[in-house]
Amino acid sequence: MTPESSLEFVHRFVASPSGKGPTLVLLHGTGGDENDLIPVGKSLLPEAALLSPRGRVLENGAPRFFRRFAEGVFDLDDLKLQTGALAGFVRAASVKYGLDAAQLIAVGYSNGANIAASVILAEPDVFAGAILFRAMPAFVPDASPDLRNVPLLLTAGERDPIVKPEQTVALAKIFENAGARVSIHWHHGGHELGRDDLDAATEWIRGWRKVK
């Protein structure tokens, strides 16, 4: 498969002002599109390139990254299919746009965070780290991947009616068992993002860049 044939996601690409450095791969929530997280990406790291695909699955007309049967009940076969497709897209886009594959950071919200977590667990070579806003465990891998020293930030709502705090803790444990370096930020509200979530993400990126 050629890189061009793998670019089957509708997407936006915003080049880095310097033409080099990190890339934030922005993954929207249910009902969003490739434009939703562009302002967030620019706010988190103004000098980064931004790659923002649109989910290929429609739920009553609303784009998603994989199918579900009900709230929190996922179609695992479709999750596997879409996880592979997204990983292929990111690899192909890295070639097309000349991105540094060692500096790809996923930034996902809700459904986008869940697909990012799935890619990290299923194809751990794709992302160098991730910021996962309101993620839950979509599946538990049969064998832990090697995520030694991969940095991950989970931000969760203490009163989130969709992603319960124990689900955040469970996902963090899955990552930690694979060797990842996991940080959790607790937002005092629910599923919506707060200014504190973005501040925590900005601080996390600063720390990641110092290590790099």
User: Which residues are annotated as catalytic?
Assistant: 110, 160, 191
CA gap 75, 46 in Å, rounded: 36
CA distances (Å), 96 to each of 69, 101, 128, 196, in order?
A: 35, 12, 19, 35
Q: Give the chain's length.
A: 212
Separation of alpha carbons 195 and 72, rounded Å: 26
Beta carbons of 68 and 114 less than 8 angstroms apart: no
**CA separation for the pair 163, 41 (Å, rounded):** 23
Residue by residue, DSSP assigns 28-94 as --TT--TTTTHHHHHHH-TTSEEEEEPPSEEETTEEESS-EEETTEE-HHHHHHHHHHHHHHHHHHH
Task: Measure CA 54 to chain center.
Answer: 13
